[in-house]
Structure 1
Amino acid sequence: FSVAGLKLTEVRIPKYVVKDSPAQLECLYDLDGEALYSVKWYKDGNEFYRYVPRDMPPAQPFLLPGVIVDLHNSSDATVTLRNVNLQSTGRFRCEVSGEAPSFQTVTEHGDMIVVFLPDQGSPKISGGRPRYQVGDYVKVNCTSGRSKPAVELSWQVNGEPADKQKLRKYNTIVEGRDGLETSVLGLQFRVEQRHFRNGDMKLKCIAELSSLYWRSNEESVEGDRPQKAPALESRETAYASNSRADPVQAGSTAPPSSTPPAPLLLLVVSLAVVGAVATLAQGIAQDIDVFKIPMDRTATGGMAKGDPEARELLAGREEEKRSARPGKSEAQLGKITLSAR
């Protein structure tokens, strides 16, 4: 804005300033032959700095919440603010007035925002899985740290900006005495084969605030590919080869043999032999009893060897043996009788 003679050439007010840092405000003017009466600065309509060349000292600050003037680094064209805070945010206006008799006045303003950078570093990605298959749905959220104002969030898939249709915007979360803000941006889409590059899919969230802040976080997820059939068969074959069965016989489709196992057959034969030996031993023992009868009788003095009574007794016992052992042959019985005699 300008009038004849006096004019403002430029007003420089930084748009963003990081909290606790200094801010420099500039008001450049051209008197065009006029004498300078004053330069005044206002924040949201309240004067906080005045420069009058005729006054001593010419620079004078005024108390205002959120505004601390650094007089050592301030002049008619520049005002420096120290340690700005969130209350320093507002509209700043410069007003330049000429000397009498015209007292021409020109003014210009600009907005300054004090930035509280995110207090938790890079943005956080949540809801993701380590692996995805084609057809699965990706549903992830990106959350920034608390800041003032809220940061701008964006998504990239494999280095390319995500389609706006896949973004899910949520309301900004405001908390605390200073009204710090948390931004949340969701990303949802169905996985396709084109999303995998060399078997991986990269999801990247970017948080930025003008030129003062830029952070990103990236997650790389793998494609969960199904196993190929040959590989599966190979593992099964390896497992079978570790068993006690012959791999060739294991793969055969012929029915199992009906021949009893060798250990069982050997057991049956052994039992048969033992049974036969026991029967033979029993017969021999009974034969020995036949011999003992006359000998016992002789030993006790009851009958002599050639006694008819003894022969008759032996003949009766022989008859009993024949009826008790039908399996004995006549030749065997004859041998027994002959021996007894």
Structure 2
Amino acid sequence: MGTLWFGVTLLICWISDAIALRDVQLIAPSAVKLGDTVLLGCKWTLEGNETLYSVKWYRGRQEFFSYLPKEYPFTRIFAQPGIDVDVSRSTSQQVVLREATRALAGRYRCEVSADAPSFHTQVRSAYIHVVELPPDKPTIKAEKGWYASGDSLRAQCSSPPADPPANLTWLLNGRDIQGKPIIQQRILPSPVVSIDAPHNFRSTATPGDEHNNIIFSPWKAFGPFVDTIQEGELLPSQDTVVLPSPRHHDSSIDEDATDPMPTVAASNKVASISQLSFMVRPDSFERGQLRLTCISTVHSVYSEQAELVINEERPQIASVLGTRDSAGGPVAASLLLLLVSCMFTMPDFILRNILR
């Protein structure tokens, strides 16, 4: 009986320890622009008499910042390539990184540990991409400025070089293109390409794909930029010690922490090109015009668009006297005027003979 009660007591203590540290959250942007300041947040809840033992930050398996409230100095920085910690703004619940470089990209982890007796630990992770944006907005051009129902419309959208390449999306009158649009794509170092060279493009349209308007998706969709961290207490620089990077990694970190350390900072910017071809329908026009829109996006940090308005081509009614653009128009009009004038000046007997 005593053994049973002892086991129950241990179980209750274990459950209490397990839930003493809860609601650990890592708040981070999915992507940041080159040169941006990066704000990473780590939130948690300690219940009961539990106190905080440590908060440690890792990129991959390498620790770069830690907060230990019961030690002095209570913040420590471990030198890592591409990571520049802003000590004055980094606290127990956030760390700030200055001037993002390409080497900053990777998987980041926040490890929160409660103090004795539980020493319960929870880890959360998120991947951060560093992107280089296009220097300008996208552009659209079409083969001609007038189209009629039944015509095949071909247009091209070009977005300047970016890393990763911009994702291009087509819209017609602000909506998805109905029917079966043929969408072709290409990425290249320069955005200059002729609209008369479709053989250089690769089609991504599939039979029966009624709404295939995503032109180029070089990366998967990521969550929105999260920037909800409140400004915490500022730490004086004398309360921080800078240490060399540990030679061995912490094996307690998640097993999926296999991201290689970034070593190359070269730019990989390329342009995105998209060609669109579809059959113009009567409902393609609104008040005699159709509006093509090309939206260029890079992760969640860049979105620009270009718009092209095309007029509806309608049948022209031919003039009896011809048009001013016709070479024979003035001559025909003059001859007709001369004939009418002669009819009014002829003697009556001649006119009657002509009309018989």
Taking structure 1 as the reference length, the TM-score comes to 0.64
Q: Secondary structure of 1:170's partner?
A: strand
Question: How many residues matched?
Answer: 249
CA offsets 1:193-223 (integer angstroms, 9 cap, x no match): 3333333322111123455322111112233
Deviates more, 1:199-208 or 1:172-181: 172-181
Per the TM alignment, residue 232 of structure 1 is displaced from its structure 2 partner at its CA by: 6.0
Match for residue 97 of structure 1 among 104, 110, 113: 113
Q: Secondary structure of 2:180's partner?
A: helix
- Superposed, 1:177-256 pairs within 5 Å as 177-230=266-319, 233=322, 235=324, 239-240=330-331, 243=334, 247-249=337-339
Larger Rg: 1
1:124 is matched with: 139
Larger % of helix: which? 1
Per the TM alignment, residue 108 of structure 1 is displaced from its structure 2 partner at its CA by: 0.9
1:315 is matched with: none
2:163 is matched with: 148
CA offsets 1:132-181 (integer angstroms, 9 cap, x no match): 34433212221222223333321122232223731414254479932224
Work out whether residues 240 and 247 of structure 1, in 8 Å CA contact, stay in contact via their aligned partners in 2.
Answer: no
Aligned residues with identical type, % of pairs:
30
Q: Which whole-Å CA distance do the structure 2 matches of 1:15 and 1:37 have between them?
A: 28
| 1:142 partner letter | C
1:115 is matched with: 131
1:299 is matched with: none
Residue segments in structure 1 that go unaligned for 5+ positions in a row: 253-341
Work out whether residues 92 and 111 of structure 1, in 8 Å CA contact, stay in contact via their aligned partners in 2.
Answer: yes
Per the TM alignment, residue 28 of structure 1 is displaced from its structure 2 partner at its CA by: 1.5
Work out whether residues 141 and 308 of structure 2, in 8 Å CA contact, stay in contact via their aligned partners in 1.
Answer: no
Judged with a 3 Å threshold, the aligned counterparts in structure 2 of structure 1 residues 68 and 171 are, in CA distance, closer, same or farther, namely same
CA offsets 1:77-102 (integer angstroms, 9 cap, x no match): 11011111222222110011233454
1:300 is matched with: none
Residue segments in structure 2 that go unaligned for 5+ positions in a row: 1-16, 191-264, 343-356
Matched, 1:61 2:77: yes
Work out whether residues 156 and 273 of structure 2, in 8 Å CA contact, stay in contact via their aligned partners in 1.
Answer: yes
Task: Give RMSD over aligned pairs.
Answer: 3.0
Kindly indicate whether structure 1 or structure 2 has the higher relative contact order, using CA contacts under 8 Å at least 6 residues apart.
2
Q: Which whole-Å CA distance do the structure 2 matches of 1:178 and 1:116 have between them?
A: 8
Judged with a 3 Å threshold, the aligned counterparts in structure 2 of structure 1 residues 242 and 126 are, in CA distance, closer, same or farther, namely closer
2:345 is matched with: none
| 1:239 partner letter | P
Q: Secondary structure of 2:330's partner?
A: helix
Match for residue 21 of structure 1 among 29, 33, 36: 36
Deviates more, 1:233-242 or 1:131-140: 233-242
CA offsets 1:246-268 (integer angstroms, 9 cap, x no match): 7243999xxxxxxxxxxxxxxxx
Q: Which whole-Å CA distance do the structure 1 matches of 2:98 and 2:20 have between them?
A: 34
Q: Secondary structure of 1:240's partner?
A: helix
